[in-house]
Structure 1
Amino acid sequence: MKKLLLIIGAFMLSGFVVKAQPSRVDKPTEWAPNTTVLVSPNQQYRLSYQGDGNLVVYDKSNSPLWDAKTYGTAPSKLVFQGDGNLVLYGANNSVFWASYSHNKGGISLRLSDDGILSVWDDKNSIWSTVIPSRVDKPTEWTPNTTVLLSTNKQFRLSYQGDGNLVVYDKSNKPLWDARTCGTAPNKLVFQGDGNLVLYGANNSVFWASYSHNKGGISLRLSDDGILSVWDDKNSIWSTVIPSRVDKPTEWTPNTTVLVSPNKLYRLSYQGDGNLVVYDNSNKPLWDAKTYGTAPNKLVFQGDGNLVLYGVNNSVFWASYSHNKGGISLRLNDQGSLSIWAPPSRDNNPFIAQRINKDELLKGLIGEWRGSDINRNEINIVFTADKAVFTMTDMRMQKRIVAEMTYTVNANDMRNPYLILDFSYKDKSGAISKLSMFIMTNEVCKFAFLKQETPVSAEIKDLYEQTDMRTDISCIWHTGFEGVTKLNELYLKKYIVPKYKVGDRGPGGGWIFYDKGDYTDGWRYLEAGPEDLGTLPWALNTRNLITTANRTALGTGKANTIEISNGYYCDRFYTTAARVCAEYQSGGKGGWYLPSIDELDLMYVNLVQNLNVGNFDRKLGSYHWSSTIVSKDARYAQYINFKNGGHSNTWIEYKCTVRPIRAFSDLQDW
């Protein structure tokens, strides 16, 4: 024992003293980067000011419990100031982060035995890293604050420095946001009247929950990531998105209007003016084709009409379902958007209308031909069990003859639909069999396909079963898109390709790929007629988009949509994906930033093989793709059009942008 004391004493005399870090400081103090600022009294937690600029609370296993999210800044100093504020400064005293606890009597900075960092006045904590799951009184927050943290610690509500209010899950995936990114933030207030409001300068309102004067007393973030305002018993507002609305409702742009019950489909009213149904892979299934309009509001009206309005109440699109009893707008589990009326008293519409099966079939065949039926000559001859129709394409003078045999199963007229069993043979002799369920009333027809015998993959993909099959009260729906697809499937068997690689396309650019079929609604890829400048891929890199990693042909559009939606703040700047998405040429929209495989094929077919397209081929002519580097979303892939070389660079770097579009020549019929 005496020997041990001698050793300890020797270390002290020689100056090798192990100095414990304090658990609190009670006076203004300053720290340089790469410093352990505080250590809890039980030695289980530490507060570290790192060399990468971040301020982090770690536990004993080095797991981070809280951080200031200032990673990657140029650090200068951390200061606990005399006014009670804890501030991270950069060069020239620029502020990267602050606790905003100034002028509240703060005199002490502490790290507790449960890992909580806090600022205290002489009696109480005035700021801490403890984040509640609910607040039950009027409260105000400044930017760069985590407002709420769910009880299970899986979700957080963040009021960001860019002005946006966002619910994130534990993986930092945004689940909901107020779409206020890029505003000049001032404060977030949960008011005494129950309203949650984002204010800018001069108390201008950027966003509100509009839950005022409804008895709201509590703001909560649940264990499933739902933000809500409650009265004493019930939720009066929340970020839960319904699958249906049953009363007149109005939405502003940049809103998810409906989400299907199975969460696989959503209806989005976009900032570009378009109304789109997406699946969970962000593939668009239907849209109102109003992209590029000046959006104002989407209204499900009291007369049952769904309308997209612009300024001065100009109408860009409508469902034209007004005055037909519509009371409910729904998005079902198959991605079909529809408007419903109460069931008719006469649930036997076929007897009531005395539908003639031949007239019904004529009408359907007419719809199969599409809206431009007047460009073709169609002759149909009916017999008792057969329809033979001949169509002459007026553009190509190509005569098409096909035959369908059919039977009508309408014996049980209590069911609100007919079944037509088709067996059809094309001119090559191939036979396919399928059943078509047809539902009709005075305002709509709907058909979907059911496989009866092995048929082509394209027809199999058209199988679509919806809840409209058994309820006649649907008065409008997006199901007509299925009829258009059937038209394309039939015609593709006979049509000679309209374009070849190197031809000028309908958008004024150059065709660089012919897929040879019409799967996924497109056949050709067209490069735009011009470069759109040398631009950054993205600018707001606070929350990196990790899913824009598709490489294959036809996937650049999905990448572009995710980039545009994910880097929402970039809408204020000129970036690669945004200028492509907004581009118009030859009266055509739908342009996007190509995936890496699309970009490579464009280079090989147009530049290397044909030397067409007016491409910049000088040294250093790097062209952006929409594909990120899969292991690091801070980088995106590009191709050097001087030599075809592939590489990647930081997404804020500027590269040349050339848009492309995928299209089907059948769309022009």
Structure 2
Amino acid sequence: MNLDKRAAWAVIFLVFGLLDTGAAEAATLRTGESMSPGQKLYSDTGRYFATLQTDGNFIVYRDDGHVIWATYTHGRGVVRATMQTDGNFVLYDSNNHPVWSTGTRGAWHMFSVSEYGQAMVLTVQDWWQTRTGNPRLAQGNPLIFPYQFVFQPGQMHSTGGPHSVTFQTDGNLVVSRFGQPIWSSHTPRATQASVAYGLYISDGGITRFQAPARYKPVPSPGTALEFTLGYVALFPDGNLVAYRAVPVWTAAHDHIPLRERPKIPHCVGDPIKCGTNSIRRGWK
């Protein structure tokens, strides 16, 4: 399913309203952001990072110095890596000429490194909704509830118009219009509601409601980014929607289990200088 303008609206508020996106030393490079030589973009676990080297090569490293993936652009004058507004991740030289790109197109793309050392371009898509929207009653602002947000019992969250969402003290999560329920989770006596793998409501660790209950996994080996970059949004028209991140481009990931990973020399520049182990395991 696609909500078109609603999806774009939610992403705009998430990216530019709730998150601090000013630094490249973060988990995600978002639309319009760039990396300069020497800057690093870490995975959520800190075990991997991407960096634009001073020789122009863009590389994903493991924390022991092992190379997972590279663009092979050393010696080509690359001085900037940019996540463009058109959805393409591009390496530019000092004359602002593109040297390498992912060839991706689309709105609100992000570049990130997964917990498996996999470079990715992702976008955010809706994957569940209450279908309670009424465009004629769309007033106020969308509300964004990011990953790991916890709804407090009895606290109402309003769009500023006729719509609100409340985790009631009786355990039900309710979307209301002019104070009247239009959707309920039907979870009496539930004790916690949060944004996890979508919308999650539980009672003493027992799942009472999960939306969506099933999902299509991302390409192997999968990544937690599809959820940690996701969120739930209540729109001014009264529709409650869950979003997740979906990869539109992926590079190679780390195939070596953590307990078997050898310590190898730090590889910089031309892969030929890194030795046969690095060439066999990292430069593919």
Q: Under a length normalisation based on structure 2, what TM-score does the superposition of the two structures give?
A: 0.46
Rg: which structure is higher?
1
Q: Which has the higher contact order (CA 8 A, sep 6+)?
A: 2
